[in-house]
């Protein structure tokens, strides 16, 4: 993990104001998903690992990477990203196709930018995550360049 200051993302700190294990206020550059999860408060580690495993179960051929400072899964292009925040975990992207075919999405807050929020005080909706992943894999396969 590389700590940097002075780059364009300076000041990124989703744990601002959170007690306990908190990310440093300096910019942190993660080189892998393990580092990302380890940087989060310990109370979120199991939750993040559960989400990670759910993604990997539904897209076992996807590669893990860090893009935009977030865990990213790549399968015929960018598949999904996730990020842990003070009050929720965000999963990106939520597409128009998902919004029209997965009714359970309506039960969760979104940012309005293709992001769904899973509050920390609720269990992760693994069934919904499986449906999201199935749609994303199908979308990426349809859009893959032969």
pTM (2 d.p.): 0.82
| pLDDT tens by residue, 24-48 | 333 678 899 999 999 999 999 999 9
* DSSP labels, 45-114: HHHHHHHHHHHHHH-TTPEEEEETTEEEEESSSEEEEEEE-SSEEEEE---HHHHHH-GGGGGS-B-SSS
| pLDDT tens by residue, 104-126 | 998 998 876 789 999 999 999 99
pLDDT of amino acid 76:
94
Structure tokens that stand for 95 in this block = 């597409």
Kindly state the percentage of the chain with pLDDT values over 90.
Answer: 65
pLDDT of amino acid 10:
36
Q: Say which residue, 13 or 66, is predicted with more confidence.
A: 66
């Amino acid at each position: 993990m590389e700590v940097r200051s002075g780059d364009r993302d300076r000041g990124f700190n989703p744990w601002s104001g959170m007690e306990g294990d908190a990310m440093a206020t300096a910019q942190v550059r993660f080189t892998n998903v393990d580092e990302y999860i380890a940087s989060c408060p310990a109370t979120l580690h199991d939750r993040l690992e559960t989400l990670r495993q759910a993604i990997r179960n539904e897209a076992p051929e996807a590669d893990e990477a860090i893009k935009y400072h977030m865990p990213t899964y790549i399968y015929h292009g960018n598949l999904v990203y996730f990020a842990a925040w003070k009050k929720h975990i965000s999963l990106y992207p939520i597409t128009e196709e998902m919004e029209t075919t997965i009714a359970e999405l309506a039960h969760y807050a979104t940012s309005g930018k293709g992001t769904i929020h899973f509050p920390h005080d609720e269990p992760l909706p693994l069934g919904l995550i499986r449906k999201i992943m199935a749609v994303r894999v199908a979308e990426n396969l349809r859009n893959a360049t032969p």
